[in-house]
């Protein structure tokens, strides 16, 4: 099969994910787009293909461009190059956050390389979704709920982030670690 012979990608899942990410019901989307709930339900289940006019109405109601549903992410949205890191600034935190995940709109997870300086203790946090921490170098104390863990290089922790969690670097050297979590950061 040649690339030009490939079937168009199903768009129903992308519409449903965007609608749910915005906290909208099918009824909300119908009201905002001027389309019927049964039609939108069929579109989301890839049982009906919207016309370009209908797709434009859906895109407008979901505050995205039409290409969001039918475009393929560019290599620049998929690949992160080591010589062009994206540093994230989180308030006054001394932690160096470097985004590893792509920048395409469909991403549902986030991956960060974090460098935690010696003596830094994070505040207690919680958010929806899962978190996965992998220590590359150093030693990190982690609390999830009332449980305490010490993670050394090569150790990992995977947990529901709805539980209160925090970390602390009591060492004399920086901790280098990977964080992977859902949902994606905005």
Structural domain of residue 152, as residue ranges? 78-181
**Residue entry with tokens 């620049």:** 76
Domain boundary among 24, 50, 70: 70
Using one digit for the tens of pLDDT, what is the confidence trace for 146-172?
A: 999 999 999 999 999 999 999 999 999
Using one digit for the tens of pLDDT, what is the confidence trace for 16-30?
A: 988 988 899 999 999
pTM over 0.75: no
Buried residues in 91-109 as b, exposed as e (16+ CB within 10 A): eeeebbbebebbeebebee
- What CATH number does the domain containing 147 carry? 2.60.120.10
Using one digit for the tens of pLDDT, what is the confidence trace for 35-66?
A: 999 999 999 998 998 988 999 999 999 998 88
Same-domain pairing of 62 and 36: yes
Is 40 inside a domain boundary?
Answer: yes
Same-domain pairing of 34 and 92: no
Question: Sorting pLDDT into bands at 50, 70 and 90, what band is 76?
Answer: low
Same-domain pairing of 59 and 133: no
Q: How far is CA 153 from CA 45, 73, 136, 169, 184, in A?
A: 44, 34, 5, 13, 25
Same-domain pairing of 90 and 174: yes
Is 186 inside a domain boundary?
Answer: no
Cβ atoms 169, 147 nearer than 8 A: no
Is 34 inside a domain boundary?
Answer: yes
Q: How far is CA 126 from CA 81, 132, 137, 160, 166, in A?
A: 30, 13, 24, 9, 9
CB atoms within 10 A of CB 160: 14
The candidate with the shortest Cα–Cα distance to 57, out of 37, 29, 23, 38, is 29
């Amino acid at each position: 099969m040649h690339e030009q012979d490939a079937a168009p990608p199903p768009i129903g899942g992308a519409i449903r994910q965007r609608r749910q990410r915005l906290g909208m019901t099918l009824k909300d989307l119908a009201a905002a787009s001027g389309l019927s709930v049964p039609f939108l339900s069929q579109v989301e289940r890839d049982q009906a293909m919207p016309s370009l006019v209908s797709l434009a109405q859906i895109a407008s109601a979901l505050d995205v461009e039409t290409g969001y549903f039918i475009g393929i992410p560019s290599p620049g949205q998929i690949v992160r190059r080591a010589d062009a890191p994206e540093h994230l600034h989180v308030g006054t935190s001394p932690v160096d956050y470097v985004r590893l995940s792509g920048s395409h709109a469909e991403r549902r997870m986030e991956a960060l390389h974090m460098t935690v300086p010696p003596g830094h203790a994070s505040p207690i946090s919680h958010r929806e979704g899962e978190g996965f921490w992998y220590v590359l170098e150093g030693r990190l104390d982690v609390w999830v709920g009332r449980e305490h863990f010490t993670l050394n290089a090569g150790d990992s922790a995977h947990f529901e982030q709805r539980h209160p969690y925090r970390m602390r670097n009591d060492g004399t050297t920086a901790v280098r670690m990977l964080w992977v979590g859902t949902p994606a950061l905005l």
